[in-house]
């Protein structure tokens, strides 16, 4: 008995001398606890479930570790930083810029993206040429890298003044600039690129620094076991191209901003969409397709004009051929807006059912849209070209590279269905995605203007 007590005492002492690493604890508990923010660049509830660059990365990392992912979205950036510093979570994946002040407070992993902080103003406000030419109020998020950067810039610009808010996030400040409540804010270039689709009058005056790295933050201390594992994971994504595909998935289609087109679209949302919204909603209920996606398709096709006619003979609000209408069982005038919307909903549903079941969302939807535009056969030709070239035929970000090749003789001679104007479906899908995003943003804002997402525990999906 005495020997047993001695062994037990030595075991306890050994545990104190060699405490369990954070990585081992995560694996033993089977849960990766992650702090993030609700935003278009980090994490949000999309039409197909949780989405966002940070979400996809940490979900894949949790799967890499063989554990479940538990997300928490604190109300403010300050709370995110406080909780990770206190060790109340394993990772803060919240679009955090690596700064000197923060490196003294947390452990950071390898960078996965670079952004540029930009001074943003609205059309109608005098555009400043530099920080000494600001004429109005400048407000940024408290405890943000932007506040830290502006404090350092005050040494060279003593007249520079700004306000800090702990109540609003960066997207909300961009909204205040757009509404002309404040004159300026500072936002990261990726946030600006996405937000300008929703607030088309926003403009970038200038960059306030050179590009800066984003990285995950970890609790402070000498235990870097989880940091090292995360670095191993992210380096693997960089090497196999998955990280690049993710970045393109979230940002490539918003890179070409069309101010005039976006303003026209938002005007038509107010003036034209109400005439047809009930029919879009009914078609969505009948087919299980988000009515806002149907509306986005309709806008891309005709700008919601039921009398539209193309040189190729397609016509109506959803621009369908007579053969397509007959194929899906609708025997009405294609200029009948309700019939056209119903026909478009049935057709996109039919096309989507032909997409191989193994292709997951949202790639499944983007490929269905491409097939809606160019035809299913041509989509399959592009997927085969991608596969033969060693790319991923089930990923839209790869397939979109091969569709344009269908207009080149060298490539379309290798295919079953031959020549096609392959650049058109790529532009088509990107336009529909933008129209859809804007419509989702508007309708969600009307329904829940201050929506916050609670903690979420999920089984981690693959990219």
Query: What's the CA gap between 221 and 205, in Å, rounded?
Result: 40
Q: Same structural domain for residues 95 and 176?
A: no
Domain shared by 290 and 267, yes or no: yes
* Contact between 66 and 27 (Cβ < 8 Å): yes
Q: For the segment 140-160, what is each residue's pLDDT rounded down to a tens digit?
A: 999 999 999 999 999 999 999
Q: Evaluate the CA torsion angle 90, 94, 98, 104 in order and state its sign.
A: negative
**Co-location of 129 and 263 in the same domain:** no
The verdict on 74 and 28 lying in the same domain is yes
Domain count, the chain: 3
Give Cα separations from 338 to 32, 156, 275, 278, 443 (angstroms): 49, 62, 10, 9, 21
Beta bridge partners of 107: 218
In this structure, are strands 139-141 and 163-165 parallel, antiparallel, or unpaired? parallel
Domain contains 4? no
How does strand 202-207 pair with strand 212-214? Answer: unpaired
Residue tagged 């995950």 (tokens): 216
Instruction: Tell whether 33 and 76 lie within a shared domain.
Output: yes
Q: From residue 284, how far is each of 137, 337, 373 by CA, in Å?
A: 44, 15, 19
CATH code for the domain in which residue 360 is found: 1.10.530.10
Same-domain status, 335 and 264: yes
Q: Is 224 a member of any domain? A: yes
In a domain, 7, yes or no: no
B/e letters for 405-430, b = 16+ CB within 10 Å, e = fewer, are bbeeeebbeebebeebebeebbebbb
Question: Do 244 and 343 share a domain, yes or no?
Answer: no
C-alpha 38/C-alpha 94 separation (Å) is: 9
Annotated active-site residue 301? The verdict is: yes
- Judgement on whether residues 318 and 266 belong to the same structural domain of the protein: yes
Read off the CATH number of the domain in which 225 is found: 3.40.190.10
Identify whether residues 279 and 389 lie together within a single domain.
Answer: yes
Please tell me whether residue 309 adopts helix, strand or coil conformation. strand
452 within a domain of the structure (yes/no): no
Q: Answer with the one of 197, 232, 254 that is the final residue of a domain.
A: 254
| Same domain? 174 vs 308 | no
- Which residue range(s) make up the domain with 315? 259-447
From first to last of its 463 residues, the chain has per-residue pLDDT tens of 565 555 555 555 444 555 789 999 999 999 999 999 988 889 887 666 788 899 999 999 999 999 999 999 998 999 999 999 999 999 999 999 999 999 999 999 999 999 999 999 999 888 899 999 998 999 999 999 999 999 999 999 999 999 999 988 898 899 899 989 999 999 999 999 888 888 888 999 999 999 999 999 999 999 999 999 999 999 999 999 999 988 988 887 776 657 678 888 999 999 999 999 999 999 999 999 999 999 999 999 999 999 988 766 688 999 888 888 888 888 877 789 999 999 999 999 999 999 999 999 999 999 999 999 888 999 999 999 999 999 999 999 999 999 999 988 888 889 998 888 888 899 899 899 999 999 998 888 765 544 333 344 443 333 3
In a domain? residue 9:
no
Name the token pair of 264. Answer: 């026209």
Considering the domain boundaries, does residue 462 fall inside one?
A: no
* Residue 156 resides in a domain: yes
Catalytic residue among 301, 342, 380, 430: 301
- The answer on 86 and 232 residing in a single domain is yes
Classify residue 3: in a domain, yes or no. Answer: no
pLDDT tens string 59-81: 999 999 999 999 999 989 999 99
Per-residue exposure over 309-319, b if at least 16 CB sit within 10 Å of its own CB, e if not: eeeeebbbbbb
pTM score: 0.73
Classified as helix, coil or strand, 121 is strand
- Both 343 and 321 in one domain: the answer is yes
């Amino acid at each position: 008995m005495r020997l047993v007590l001695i062994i037990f005492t030595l075991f306890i002492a050994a545990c104190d001398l060699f405490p369990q690493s954070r990585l081992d604890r995560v694996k033993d508990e089977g849960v990766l606890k992650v702090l993030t923010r609700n935003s278009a660049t980090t994490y949000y509830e999309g039409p197909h479930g949780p989405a966002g660059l940070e979400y996809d990365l940490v979900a894949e990392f949790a799967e890499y570790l063989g554990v479940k992912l538990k997300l928490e979205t604190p109300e403010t950036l300050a709370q995110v930083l406080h909780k990770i510093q206190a060790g109340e979570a394993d990772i803060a994946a919240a679009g955090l810029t690596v700064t000197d002040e923060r490196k003294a407070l947390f452990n950071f992993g390898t960078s996965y993206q670079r952004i540029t902080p930009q001074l943003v103003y609205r059309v109608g406000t005098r555009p400043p040429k530099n920080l000494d030419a600001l004429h109005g109020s400048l407000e940024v998020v408290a405890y943000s890298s932007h506040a830290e950067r502006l404090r350092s810039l005050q040494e060279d610009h003593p007249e520079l003044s700004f306000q800090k808010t702990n109540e609003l996030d960066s997207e909300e400040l961009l909204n205040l600039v757009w509404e002309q409540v404040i004159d300026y804010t500072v936002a990261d270039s990726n946030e600006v690129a996405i937000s300008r689709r929703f607030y088309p009058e926003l403009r970038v005056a200038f960059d306030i620094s050179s590009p800066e790295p984003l990285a995950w933050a970890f609790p402070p201390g000498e235990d870097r076991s989880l940091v090292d594992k995360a670095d191993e994971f992210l380096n693997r994504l960089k090497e196999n191209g998955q990280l690049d595909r993710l970045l393109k998935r979230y940002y490539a289609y918003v890179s070409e901003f069309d101010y005039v087109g976006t303003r026209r679209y938002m005007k038509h949302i107010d003036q034209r969409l109400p005439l047809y919204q009930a029919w879009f909603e009914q078609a969505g209920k009948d087919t299980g397709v988000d009515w806002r996606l149907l509306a986005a398709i309709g806008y891309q096709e005709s700008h919601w004009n039921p009398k539209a006619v193309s040189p190729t003979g397609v016509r109506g609000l959803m621009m369908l051929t007579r053969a397509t209408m007959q194929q899906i069982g609708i025997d009405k005038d294609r200029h009948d807006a309700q019939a056209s919307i119903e026909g478009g909903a049935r057709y996109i549903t039919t096309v989507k059912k032909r997409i191989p079941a193994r292709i997951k969302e949202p790639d499944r939807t983007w490929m269905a849209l491409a097939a809606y535009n160019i035809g299913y056969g041509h989509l399959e030709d592009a997927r085969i070209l991608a596969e033969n070239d060693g790319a991923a035929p089930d990923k839209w970000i790869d397939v979109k590279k091969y569709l344009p090749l269908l207009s080149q003789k060298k490539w379309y001679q290798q295919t079953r269905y031959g020549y096609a104007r392959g650049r058109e479906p790529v532009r088509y899908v990107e336009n529909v995605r933008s129209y859809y995003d804007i419509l989702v943003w508007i309708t969600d804002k009307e329904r829940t203007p201050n929506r916050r997402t609670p903690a979420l525990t999920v089984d981690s999906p693959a990219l």
